[in-house]
């Protein structure tokens, strides 16, 4: 079974600023990490490969520093990685991003053979639209299931999946090839192994880079030019005033009472709470 797993290289903060001129994200100066919700997706792909055999290919459309994210995936045990990077892809909205990723899967099939599954994280911590997996499925015309927490091969070219919903779970049989979005807390990701990490560093062929001269996509359909959505307006986050107060309690009980008096506004409720806690 050949499984591809999408990885996004994201700023290590949710406080991403937006350039008011261009409406695009300002990433400069912000350290980046692999989107944490992609780690369970990598784990799901690896478990499936370890059970039925085959290979896992991690891929990311991102600027060159994202190679570090792919190295982490390789360190976890992914077989190979593809960095899709080109200036022409910059400024993409989710439509243009998923278009590139969908076409990258088509190229992976041409280069390496049939792709059975494309797995993605549930969402990202920077944009968190959760658009990408569904859109990739649409470009490829493959079935799509999300909030997936378990995958078992159930027959020739079929898998049985468990979807985790708020109050219940659902089971489906899905025809392959398919796209899955893995639920964010579904699986504990395995740690990076030293052997895999060294392999990623030493084997120069394990990470491949594709630009648009490899994918040959119409430049009008990718990046900012190919993005039908625009950031029309950004609203500054309102400043939350912080008032610092210092209180020196006589003893812990006095300190606790003071904290209650600060967080419980209703006087009657406050008295009731103090009575319940201290019988006063």
Ligand X SMILES: Cc1cc2nc3c(=O)[nH]c(=O)nc-3n(C[C@H](O)[C@H](O)[C@H](O)COP(=O)(O)OP(=O)(O)OC[C@H]3O[C@@H](n4cnc5c(N)ncnc54)[C@H](O)[C@@H]3O)c2cc1C
97, 103, 196, 212: residue in contact with ligand X (rule CB under 6 A) = 97
Are the CB atoms for 65 and 17 separated by under 8 Å?
A: no
33, 67, 130, 273: residue in contact with ligand X (rule CB under 6 A) = 130
Residue, CB closest to ligand X? 121
Q: In this structure, what are the phi and psi dihedrals at residue 150, rounded to the nearest 5 degrees?
A: -150, 140
Interaction between residue 129 and ligand X (CB under 6 A): yes
Those residues whose C-beta lies under 8 Å from the C-beta of residue 161, and which sit 6 or more positions away, are: 145, 148, 150, 151, 152, 171, 172, 174, 180
CA distance 131 to 101: 12
CB of 56 or CB of 257, closer to ligand X: 56
Query: Stretches 4-12, 106-114, 197-205, 253-261: which one binds ligand X (CB under 6 A)?
Result: 4-12
39, 45, 46, 60: residue in contact with ligand X (rule CB under 6 A) = 60
Query: Stretches 48-56, 91-99, 157-165, 190-198: which one binds ligand X (CB under 6 A)?
Result: 91-99
32, 35, 103, 212: residue in contact with ligand X (rule CB under 6 A) = 35
Interaction between residue 40 and ligand X (CB under 6 A): no
Cis, bond preceding 177 (omega within 30 deg of 0) = yes
Query: Stretches 67-75, 128-136, 159-167, 263-271: which one binds ligand X (CB under 6 A)?
Result: 128-136
CA distance 240 to 222: 39
Interaction between residue 71 and ligand X (CB under 6 A): no
Query: Stretches 138-146, 192-200, 214-222, 224-232: which one binds ligand X (CB under 6 A)?
Result: 224-232
Beta bridge partners of 172: 161
Those residues whose C-beta lies under 8 Å from the C-beta of residue 92, and which sit 6 or more positions away, are: 61, 100, 222, 223, 224, 226, 227
Residues in the chain: 280
CB of 35 or CB of 196, closer to ligand X: 35
Output the smallest distance, CB 108 to ligand X, in A.
12
Interaction between residue 178 and ligand X (CB under 6 A): no
Q: Which residues of 39-73 are buried (b: 16+ CB within 10 A; e: fewer)?
A: bbbbbbbbebbeeeebebbbbbbbbeebbebbbbb
Interaction between residue 101 and ligand X (CB under 6 A): yes
Output the smallest distance, CB 136 to ligand X, in A.
8
Angle made by CA atoms 176, 60, 218, in degrees to the nearest 5: 85
Site string for ligand X, 225-244 (x = CB under 6 A): --x-xxx-------------
Residues that bind ligand X (CB under 6 A): 6-8, 24-25, 35, 37-38, 41, 60-62, 91-94, 97, 101, 120-121, 123-124, 126-133, 227, 229-231
């Amino acid at each position: 079974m050949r499984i591809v797993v999408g990885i996004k290289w994201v700023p290590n903060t949710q406080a991403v600023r937006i350039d008011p001129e261009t409406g695009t994200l300002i990433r400069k100066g912000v350290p980046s990490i692999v989107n944490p919700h992609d780690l369970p997706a990598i784990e799901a792909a690896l478990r499936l490969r370890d059970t039925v055999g085959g290979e896992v290919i991690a891929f990311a459309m991102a600027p060159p520093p994202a190679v570090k994210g792919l190295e982490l995936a390789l360190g976890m045990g992914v077989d190979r990685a593809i960095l899709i990077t080109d200036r022409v892809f910059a400024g993409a909205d989710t439509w243009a991003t998923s278009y590139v990723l969908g076409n990258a899967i088509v190229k992976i099939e041409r280069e390496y053979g049939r792709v059975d599954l494309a797995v993605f994280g549930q969402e990202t911590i920077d944009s968190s639209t959760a658009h990408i997996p569904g859109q990739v499925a649409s470009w490829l015309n493959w079935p799509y299931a999300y909030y997936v927490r378990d995958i078992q091969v159930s027959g020739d070219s079929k898998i049985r999946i468990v979807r985790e919903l708020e109050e219940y779970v659902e089971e489906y049989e899905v025809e392959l090839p398919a796209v899955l979005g893995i639920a964010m807390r579904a699986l504990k990701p395995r740690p990076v192994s030293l052997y895999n990490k060294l392999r990623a560093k030493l084997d120069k062929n394990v990470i491949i880079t594709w630009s648009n001269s490899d994918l040959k996509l119409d430049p009008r359909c990718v990046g900012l030019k190919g993005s039908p959505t625009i950031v029309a307006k950004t609203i500054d986050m309102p400043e939350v005033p912080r008032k610092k107060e210092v209180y020196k309690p006589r003893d812990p009980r006095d300190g606790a009472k003071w904290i209650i008096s600060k967080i419980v506004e209703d006087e009657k409720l406050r008295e009731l709470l103090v009575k319940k806690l201290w019988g006063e």
